[in-house]
Amino acid sequence: MTSRDYLHKAFLLAKGANLKQIRPNPFVGAIVVSQDGEIIGEGYHQKAGEAHAEVFAIQAALLKNLDLSEATLYVTLEPCSHIGKTPACTDLIIQHKIKKVVIGSLDPNPLVSGAKKLFDHGVIVETIITPEIVELNNVFNINQIKKRPKYILKSATTINGQIADRFGNSKWISNAKSRAYVHEFLRARVDAILTTAKTIMNDNASMNIRLEGTAPTELNLIVIDKHLDLLKKENEQLPIFYKRINSKIYLVTDKSFEGKLRTDVELIKVDMRNKKIDLTQLSSQLLSKNICEVLIEGGGVLNASMIQEKIVDEVFMFICPSINTDSSALNAYSSNQVQKMDELMKLSLLETKVFDNDILLKYKVLITKS
Each residue of 53-101: pLDDT tens digit?
A: 999 999 999 998 778 999 999 999 999 887 767 778 899 999 999 999 9
Give the integer Cα–Cα distance in Å for 83 and 260.
40
For the stretch 242-263, pLDDT in tens is 999 999 999 999 988 888 899 9
Q: Does residue 327 register a pLDDT over 90?
A: no
pLDDT computed for residue 2 by the predictor: 92
Alpha-helix runs per DSSP H in 35-188: 53-62, 89-95, 114-120, 131-136, 138-146, 176-181
* Residues identified as active-site: 54
In this prediction, residue 370 carries a pLDDT of 45
Residue type, 86: T
pLDDT at 368: 54
Averaged pLDDT, 175-202 = 94
**Averaged pLDDT score across all residues of the chain:** 91
Asked whether the predicted pLDDT for residue 28 surpasses 80, the reply is: yes
pLDDT, position 114? 87
* Residue 154 pLDDT > 60: yes
- The reported pLDDT for the residue numbered 342 is 82
Percent of the chain residues topping a pLDDT of 90: 69
- Give pLDDT, residue 171: 81
pLDDT at 211: 87
Give yes or no for residue 207 having a pLDDT over 50. yes
Query: 22-31, 136-145, 275-284: which has the minimum mean pLDDT?
Result: 275-284
- Residue 314 corresponds to which amino acid? E
